[in-house]
């Protein structure tokens, strides 16, 4: 799963890092998934976070992705520009 977020109030990479670290830590603690910033690391106002998990079946993957999507929306002030999902 990938989230592309826009945070217009961020004016430095230090501010961006604080937001990214917070979101990533919350995702890892709540859902026990792997999460990291995966792209656009040099652009202050764009945050791209990738989330990965191993689950036993597709239904559980869909449910987990729905929960993660709702969680990200509720726990950040940044606007979600794009969300992509992939099941392998």
pLDDT grade for 88, boundaries at 50, 70 and 90: confident
pLDDT grade for 16, boundaries at 50, 70 and 90: very high
Count of domains for the chain: 1
Answer for the pair 44, 10: CB distance below 8 angstroms, yes or no: yes
Predicted structure pTM score: 0.87
69-78: b (≥16 Cβ within 10 Å) or e: beebeeebeb
For residue 35, what are the domain limits? 2-84
Residue 44: give its domain's CATH number: 3.30.70.1120
Encode pLDDT of 27-65 as tens digits: 999 999 999 999 888 888 999 999 999 999 999 999 999
């Amino acid at each position: 799963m990938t989230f592309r977020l826009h945070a217009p109030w961020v004016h430095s990479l230090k501010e961006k890092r604080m937001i990214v670290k917070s979101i990533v830590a919350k995702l890892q603690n709540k859902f026990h998934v792997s999460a990291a910033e995966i792209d656009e690391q040099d652009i202050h106002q764009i945050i791209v976070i990738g989330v990965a998990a191993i689950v036993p079946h597709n239904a559980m993957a869909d449910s987990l992705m729905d929960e993660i999507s709702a969680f990200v929306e509720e726990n950040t002030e940044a606007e979600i520009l794009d969300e992509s999902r992939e099941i392998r």
